[in-house]
Amino acid sequence: MAVTIKDVAKKAGVSPSTVSRVLSNHPRISAETSRKVKEIMDQLGYHPNIMAKSLVSKTTNSICIMLPKSAEELFSNFFFMELIRGIVTQANRLGFDVLLSSGANEKEEVECVSRLLNGHRVDGVILLYSRINDPVIDFLYKNNHNFVLIGRSEQYPDILSVDNDNVQASYDATKHLISLGHKRIGFVSGPPELVVSKDRLKGYLLALNDAGLETKPEWIVEGEFLQESGYRAISFFMNLPDRPTAIVLIDDVVSFGVLRGLYELNYKVPEDLCLVSFNNIPLAEMSTPPLSSVDIGIYNMGYTASGMLIQAIQNNSGDKTVPGRYIIPHRLVVRESSIFSVQKD
């Protein structure tokens, strides 16, 4: 015969309602009681009926991570894997399951989150990206669904979100190169529809402007968060008659493409070109040479976003007017790719 919630309550010396509260991670249950009840569950081999529990509580104890459209970008970029690791770790700690979903285009993404939320398959959504004029954010906001954005929304600045100060982070990276004496500094950006691309480009331009340095349109190249974008960008840069002596790159993975291209063209870093990028993934330290990179606390972003969403769900807080933008601190990690200046004026 299957073990019931009453069996667990009897052996633990508590009421069945207390066991239910332990299962739902109720904040009024003490850590000692929760630990005791969970030990009894393990001893008896009790497994809660999730479907029945969902019908009673009208919650699923599940959240959805909405993935970027490009699978290539997702699975080749450590940023997303580390972000998801942070989300899942916190969700599991709080007793929530995680569902991954995506769409081939914006219409499919809206249909997907609508189906999952209106069908009561998940209690909330985490978006791993922040686009300008995003219809997914528009749908979630206007329908008062629980969601957290990784990034910043220009449409709805008051939504729950976790982000860096990307303008300041890019300003700091560019200022570092300026402090080395560089006057011709390029920038490899991401897709223009992403808010992070806009913010980091803004920080780069502000730093140059504050230093009284020249900016040129040909020193700014847009691409994707892929190695191939960096590879193409460096071929363009190194063929300019007045090429940059240093470059700020929007992502470490893009930097790896730059390093590959420079190697094939027989240029050296930092002797011929200094590089600073973003994310400080583990491979940045192991590249040749090791990359200077802005550490944006990727794991912490995911962990924090997961906690914010689950707290909103448990508080039954769909109040979209409550400010909830959380900024993760950044720091520039200087390595060999930007340790001295080589001026070619």
Domain range summary for the chain, segments of one domain joined by +: 5-48, 62-164+298-314, 166-295+332-338
Q: First vs last Cα of the chain: how many Å apart? A: 83
Question: What's the fold here for domain 166-295+332-338?
Answer: Rossmann fold (3.40.50)
For residue range 171-212, list pLDDT tens digits in order: 999 999 999 999 999 999 999 999 999 999 999 999 999 999
User: Which class does domain 62-164+298-314 fall in?
Assistant: alpha beta
Q: How far apart are CA 105 and CA 308, in angstroms?
A: 27
How far apart CA 237 and CA 187 sit, in angstroms, is: 10
pLDDT at 78: 87
pLDDT at 55 over 70: no
What integer pLDDT is reported at residue 279 of this predicted model?
A: 96
CA distance 247 to 234: 10
Domain 5-48: homologous superfamily in CATH: lambda repressor-like DNA-binding domains (1.10.260.40)
Distance set, CA 70 to CA 67, 77, 225 (Å)? 8, 11, 10
Alpha helices in the chain (DSSP H): 5-12, 16-23, 31-44, 50-57, 71-76, 78-93, 106-118, 135-142, 166-179, 195-210, 227-237, 252-264, 282-286, 298-314
From the list 138, 148, 47, the residue with the least C-alpha distance to 98 is 148
Is residue 341 very low, low, confident or very high in pLDDT (cuts 50, 70, 90)?
low
Q: Which phi and psi angles does 152 have, rounded to 5°?
A: -135, 135
pLDDT tens readout for residues 131-155? 999 999 999 999 999 999 999 999 9
User: What is the residue-averaged pLDDT of the chain?
Assistant: 89
Which residues on neighbouring strands pair with residue 124, listed in sequence order?
63
d(CA 340, CA 10): 70
Average of pLDDT values for 28-36?
86
Residue 27 has pLDDT above 90, yes or no: no
User: Tokens at residue 244, please?
Assistant: 């940059």
User: What number is the average pLDDT over the span 95-118?
Assistant: 91
**pLDDT greater than 70 at residue 167:** yes
Place of tokens 């009561």: 120
The reply to whether domains 5-48 and 166-295+332-338 share a CATH topology is no
CA atoms within a 13 Å half-sphere pointing along the CA-CB vector of 217: 0
Mean pLDDT of the region 317-334: 76
Q: Residue 112: pLDDT above 60?
A: yes
Phi-psi region of 277 (alpha: psi -120 to 50; beta: other; left: phi over 0): beta
